[in-house]
Structure 1
Amino acid sequence: MRVGFIGTGSMGSILIEAFIQSGALNPEQIVATNRTISKAERLAETYAGLQVARSNMEVASLSDLLFLCIKPSEFKAVLDDIANSVDSSKLIVSITSPVLIRHLEELLPCKIAKVIPSITNYVLSGATLCIYGDRFTPEDKELLENMLSHISAPIRVSEQYTRISSDLSSCGPAFLAYFVQKFVEAAVAETGISEEEATQLASEMTLGTGKLLTTGGFSPASLQKRVSVPGGITAEGLRIMEKELCGVFYDLIRTTHSKYEEEVEKVEARLFGTQVD
C-alpha cells in the first residue's frame, strides 16, 4: 500500500515521522509533496526511500491512501488539482477539522474520512479522532485504525462533536502546557526555585498524572480525592482553583466553538461560493 501526504508542515511531518518511527509504514511506502517542496525534500533526506512528488496530482495518482494535511484556505486549489487523479477506490483522509465530510464527498468520488491527530502522536501517544463518511467500509476503517494504533489510540467520534473532541485531545496539550508554564512561573517568582528545576518537577508530574488517568484507573475526580485531605494544603489549593478558574473553561469552549463555526463558513464559501456574512 502506498500512502500519500499533501502537506508536510507541522502536523503532516509529525504524522510521517511517527508512522515511520513506530514501524507502521516504511519510508518506501510514503510519497509526499508540499507547497514549499524543500520541506518534503528534507524528510526524504532523513528517511531514505521516501518519495517526493512534484505535484498534488502526482501524489494522488500514486497513493492508495491519501492524507490531506493542509490549511482550510488551501483545500479549493488542492481538490481542483487532484479531482481527475482519484476514483471511488481511493481513501482520502483530511486532518483539517472545519472541512466537513460532506464537503469532500460533494467534490470527490472517493471514500472520505477525517482524522484529527495530536502533537502527542509524535511520541506515539495520545488519541487520534476518527470520523468516517458513508463510503468507508468496515475493512477500510480497520486498515486506517490499525495504522493509527501504532502512534495513538484511535477513537471514533461523531462529526457533530469534532470541535469539543479536538479541544480535549488536540488543543488540550497546548492548554495543559500553558497551565504548567504558569504554575512554573509562579513557583519561580514566589519561592526562588530555579526555572529548570521547577519545569522538570512539573513535567514529570504531568507525565505521571496522565498515566494515573489512563492506565492507573483513576478518574479526575477520584484522583483529586485521593491526593487531598479535608482541610489540608492540596484541598486549599483546589478551593482556590475552583474559585478562580472554573468560568475560564466555559469561556474557552465557547470561544473555540465560535471560531470553529466561523471557519466552517469560510470553508463553504471557498469551496462552493456561498456567501459569508
Structure 2
Amino acid sequence: MNVGFIGTGSMGSLLIEAFISSDALSPSEITISNRTIAKAEALADRYPGMNVAYSNAEAALNMDYIFLCIKPHEFKQVVQDIQSSVHSDSIVVSITSPVLLSHLERELNCKVAKIIPSITNMVRSGATLCMYGDSMTEQDKSDLEQLFSFISEPIRIEESYTRIVSDLSSCGPAFFAFLLQQFVDAAVEETGIPRDGALQVAINMLHGTGLLLTEGGMTLEQIQQRVAVPGGITAKALYMLRQETEGIFNHLIRTTHTKYKDDLVKVSNAFCGEEVNGQ
C-alpha cells in the first residue's frame, strides 16, 4: 500500500504515528509533505524508510490514499496542487470537518472520503467518523475502515451530523480533560491536597468510569443512582451540579456549530464562491 499525507501538523502526525505503532502501515509505505518541509523531514528522521515529498503533487502521485491533514483555508490551493496527480481510482481523504465531500468531488477526478479522527486514536481507542463520496464503492469503504480499525472503531455517519458527532468524539476529550482539570484544581485549592496525588486519583476514577460504561455495561443513569445514596453527600452535590450547569452544554454545542458554519462559508466561497447555510 502507498499512502500520502499532506500536512504533518498535530492531527496529521498523530495519524501517521498511530498507523505505524499499530502496524497498520510501515514507514516505507508512507510519503509525507508539509508546508514547512523541515517538519516533514524531522518526522521522517524518526521513522527510517518514510519518504518525504517536496511538493503536494509529488505526495499524491501513485498513492492509494492521499490524506489531506490541513487547515480549511489551505484546501483550495492543495486541491489545485494535486489535481494532476490523482486518477479515477485514487482515494483522497479529508480529515477537516468544514470541507464538504461535494467541494472535493467538484475539483478532483477521483474518489473522496471524509474521516474525522480523535486524539484517542493515539492509544488505539475511540472512534473515527466516516463519510463517503458517491463514487466510493462498498469495497472502497470497507478497505478504508479496515485500515482505521487498527487504531479506532470506524463509525459511518451522515455528513449533515459532522459537527455534532465531532463534538462528542473529537472535541470531547478536550472538554472532559478541562472539566477534570477544574475538579482537581478545586480540590487542591479547597483542601491543600498535593496536586499530583489528586490528579492520579481523578485519572483512575475517569478510567474506571469508562470501563463501567463499556465492559461493565452500566448506563450513565445507573452509575449516578448507584453512587448517589438518597439524602447522601453525592446526591446533594449532584443536585447542585444540575442547578449550576443547566444549559451549559447547549451553549457549548451552539458555540462549536457557529464556528463550524463560519468556516463552512469561508471554504465554500474559496471553492466556488457560493454562500452556504451549512450542514
TM interval, short-chain normalised = over 0.9
Whether 1:194 aligns to 2:201 is no
Alpha-carbon deviation of 1:259? 1.0
Q: 3-state DSSP class of the match of 1:143?
A: helix
CA-to-aligned-CA distance 1:164-183 (integer Å, 9 cap, x gap)? 00000000000000100100
Seq. identity, %: 59
User: Does structure 2 conserve the Cα–Cα contact (< 8 Å) formed by 1:4 and 1:62?
Assistant: no
- Residue of structure 2 in register with 1:92 after alignment: 92
Q: Deviation above 4 Å: which 4+ runs of structure 1?
A: none
* Distance (Å, rounded) in 2 between the aligned partners of 1:63 and 1:38: 22
Counterpart of 1:69, as a letter, is C
* Distance (Å, rounded) in 2 between the aligned partners of 1:214 and 1:47: 34
* Distance (Å, rounded) in 2 between the aligned partners of 1:232 and 1:78: 59
Counterpart of 1:63, as a letter, is M
- Residue of structure 2 in register with 1:118 after alignment: 118
- Residue of structure 2 in register with 1:147 after alignment: 147
Q: 3-state DSSP class of the match of 2:208?
A: helix
| Unpaired runs of at least 5, structure 1 | none
- Residue of structure 1 in register with 2:29 after alignment: 29
Structure 1 stretch 224-233 or stretch 182-191: which is displaced more?
224-233
Alpha-carbon deviation of 1:162? 0.4
Alpha-carbon deviation of 1:88? 1.1
Alpha-carbon deviation of 1:214? 2.0
- Residue of structure 1 in register with 2:183 after alignment: 183
User: Does structure 2 conserve the Cα–Cα contact (< 8 Å) formed by 1:27 and 1:48?
Assistant: yes
Counterpart of 1:177, as a letter, is A
- Residue of structure 2 in register with 1:266 after alignment: 266
**TM-score, length of structure 2 as denominator length:** 0.97
Alpha-carbon deviation of 1:275? 5.7
Alpha-carbon deviation of 1:42? 1.4
- Residue of structure 1 in register with 2:161 after alignment: 161
CA-to-aligned-CA distance 1:107-165 (integer Å, 9 cap, x gap)? 11111110000111111111110011111111111111111011111111111110000
* Distance (Å, rounded) in 2 between the aligned partners of 1:214 and 1:160: 27
* Distance (Å, rounded) in 2 between the aligned partners of 1:40 and 1:211: 37
Alpha-carbon deviation of 1:91? 0.6
Task: Please state which structure has a larger fraction of its residues in helix.
Answer: 1
User: Does structure 1 conserve the Cα–Cα contact (< 8 Å) formed by 2:264 and 2:276?
Assistant: no
User: Does structure 1 conserve the Cα–Cα contact (< 8 Å) formed by 2:62 and 2:85?
Assistant: no
Structure 1 stretch 88-97 or stretch 236-245: which is displaced more?
236-245
Q: 3-state DSSP class of the match of 2:173?
A: helix
Alpha-carbon deviation of 1:63? 1.1
Q: 3-state DSSP class of the match of 2:243?
A: helix
Alpha-carbon deviation of 1:276? 8.6
Counterpart of 1:236, as a letter, is K
Alpha-carbon deviation of 1:215? 2.3
Alpha-carbon deviation of 1:221? 1.4
Q: 3-state DSSP class of the match of 1:62?
A: coil
Counterpart of 1:56, as a letter, is N
- Residue of structure 1 in register with 2:253 after alignment: 253
CA-to-aligned-CA distance 1:190-224 (integer Å, 9 cap, x gap)? 11101111111111111111222222212211221
CA-to-aligned-CA distance 1:23-71 (integer Å, 9 cap, x gap)? 1111111011100111111121111111011110001113111100000
Counterpart of 1:27, as a letter, is P
User: Does structure 2 conserve the Cα–Cα contact (< 8 Å) formed by 1:116 and 1:128?
Assistant: yes
Trace 1:51-66 onto structure 2 (pairs within 5 A).
Answer: 51-66=51-66
- Residue of structure 2 in register with 1:220 after alignment: 220
Counterpart of 1:133, as a letter, is G
* Distance (Å, rounded) in 2 between the aligned partners of 1:11 and 1:241: 34
